[in-house]
Structure 1
Amino acid sequence: MPRATRLVLVAAFWLVVWQLAALAVGQRLLLPGPAEVGSRFAELAVTAPFWASVAYSLVRILAGFALGTTAGALLAVGAARWRVVDALVSPLVGAVRAAPVVSFIILVLIWVDSSRLAVVVSALMVLPVTYAAVLEGVRQRDPAMLEMAAVFEVPLLRRLPAVDLPAVLPFFAAACQVGIGLAWKSGIAAEVIGLPAGSVGERLYDAKVLLESADVFLWTGVVVALSLVAERVVAALLRRVSSAGSGAAA
């Protein structure tokens, strides 16, 4: 069975389940049906404020993801190179990983403006994942290849695509797949608490306050769709980087 056909059938199955559940509940306030949510989406999708909210949250959460992955990767490289960096950074990373997201949201909201809240919180949530993955990837490099590169004094710019990148990239890619989802979850949660004007989080909060269940489902679906699309785009970019690195090494 073609993949596209399988996806359509799976989607149709869950839409039917959703509709049956809505009929069984019989209260649109508790569980609106897919037709109602789809109608609401068609109504909002042709308006400029809808896309402005999507763009607002998209830019800030992706910025936070990029900041968190960059900072986590750089700290991991430093920790692998210098033990003092590992000793100083590891407790901080562990604290960020263990602390509840809402605690960071409240603390960050004290320090920064609500318009930048999603950027900072998303970066903080992504950083520990990237740090741990990249650090493990650096430590998994082939010792024989590193020794040979040192003996033959291979320049760093040639060693990176030949030895370092192939070892680290699978770990980094896995971290990005996990991190992009964390960035969206934490970023939207930050927006719901901080309520920056024009954000998806603000739309979700307004829908909850006004008891517009269809809008809650709609904006939740938008967040899920954006997260999945972003994950696919990041995965495609990483595959291109991997291919480019393999070509350069050859």
Structure 2
Amino acid sequence: MNRGAISRAARVLGVAAFWLAVWQLLYQSVGQEILLVSPAQTLSRVFELSGQADFWISAGVSLYNVAAGFVCASFLGIVLGALCCRFRFLYQLIYPLLSAVKATPVASFIILALVWLQSVRVPAFIAGLIVLPIVFGNVCQGVAAADRELLEMARVFRLGRWKTLRYIYLPTVAPYLAAAFTTGIGLAWKAGVSAEVLANARNSIGGRIYGAKIYLDTADLFAWTAVVIVLSVVLELLLLACFRRIPWGEGKS
């Protein structure tokens, strides 16, 4: 491991230690476990829960809900973004709707979705609904940022639509997509788990959080929240690692 990697790891550990210390001090100041539990209690409860089969079932169900919504919304956002950049009238038609989706409180959509859909489908729907405008907007920005001189050169030399897409548009849009995915995966977890809580979805993390709230089990509430954070971070890192392996614009012409 090189010196730069060691330095970055040390900074990450230092920041984590700082906030854990703040959490511990707050716990000691409050002095009431019904309001706030310690980091050690939270970690201990996570280990206890991880030894139960229900823990993995709940984590798997929530992971499926979030992943399904995220993947469907990302695909739809990319397709809509590309079409809207090609057909301006379509952009003018869709943009107000997606702007309204971004501005509307998530709780409103969850309540409406509970009326429209079966409760088991609501978390994935809500997760996708929150991600869709982000991916769509970033794709549109990425296409708009394409170098006009390169596009003109491609037209003059008759590069063709496929090669223009591969060697000009894709490398330009890729950073915008990476930013959309990084932001979207965290919001998908927040929205999806919130939908599970309001829907009281069985065998899900949101359902476990709802149960912890009902029984005033603060340790479980913090433990499940920590699980959501860890899953979100791990999924984001895996997604970005896969994203970086894609050869954007590389290869033989």
Check whether TM > 0.5. Answer: yes
Deviations 1:145-190 (A, max 9, x none): 1122222222333222211111111111111111111101100110
Contact 1:18 1:33 in 2 (8 A): yes
Alignment partner of 1:248 out of 228, 248, 251? 251
Q: Within 5 A, what are the aligned runs for 1:127-166?
A: 127-166=132-171
Deviations 1:176-234 (A, max 9, x none): 11111110110011000112210100000000110000111111111111111111111
Contact 2:174 2:248 in 1 (8 A): no
Return the alpha-carbon distance in structure 1 between the equivalents of residues 252 and 175 of structure 2.
17
Cα gap change, 1:31 to 1:249, in 2 (>3 Å): farther
SS at match of 1:64: helix
Q: Within 5 A, what are the aligned runs for 1:80-99?
A: 80-99=85-104
> How far off its partner does 1:249 sit?
5.7
Q: Within 5 A, what are the aligned runs for 1:210-221?
A: 210-221=215-226
> How far off its partner does 1:83 sit?
1.5
- 2:209 corresponds to which letter in structure 1? L
- 1:89 corresponds to which letter in structure 2? I
Normalised TM-score (structure 2)? 0.93
Return the alpha-carbon distance in structure 1 between the equivalents of residues 81 and 160 of structure 2.
21
Return the alpha-carbon distance in structure 2 between the equivalents of residues 208 and 172 of structure 1.
37
- 1:247 corresponds to which letter in structure 2? E
Counterpart check, 1:193 vs 2:202: no
Matched with 2:123 is: 118
Backbone CA RMSD of aligned residues? 1.4
Counterpart check, 1:14 vs 2:19: yes
Contact 2:168 2:249 in 1 (8 A): no
Return the alpha-carbon distance in structure 2 between the equivalents of residues 194 and 90 of structure 1.
29
> How far off its partner does 1:4 sit?
2.7
Unpaired stretches in structure 1, ≥5 consecutive residues: none
Return the alpha-carbon distance in structure 2 between the equivalents of residues 36 and 129 of structure 1.
37
Matched with 1:44 is: 49
> How far off its partner does 1:8 sit?
2.7
Contact 2:119 2:201 in 1 (8 A): yes
Contact 2:167 2:250 in 1 (8 A): no
> How far off its partner does 1:247 sit?
2.4
Return the alpha-carbon distance in structure 2 between the equivalents of residues 249 and 77 of structure 1.
24
Matched with 2:185 is: 180
Return the alpha-carbon distance in structure 1 between the equivalents of residues 123 and 236 of structure 2.
18
- 1:123 corresponds to which letter in structure 2? G
Return the alpha-carbon distance in structure 1 between the equivalents of residues 101 and 108 of structure 2.
10
SS at match of 1:245: coil
Contact 2:135 2:180 in 1 (8 A): yes
Matched with 2:209 is: 204
- State the number of aligned residues: 248
Unpaired stretches in structure 2, ≥5 consecutive residues: 1-5
Alignment partner of 1:69 out of 68, 74, 82? 74
Return the alpha-carbon distance in structure 1 between the equivalents of residues 13 and 141 of structure 2.
39
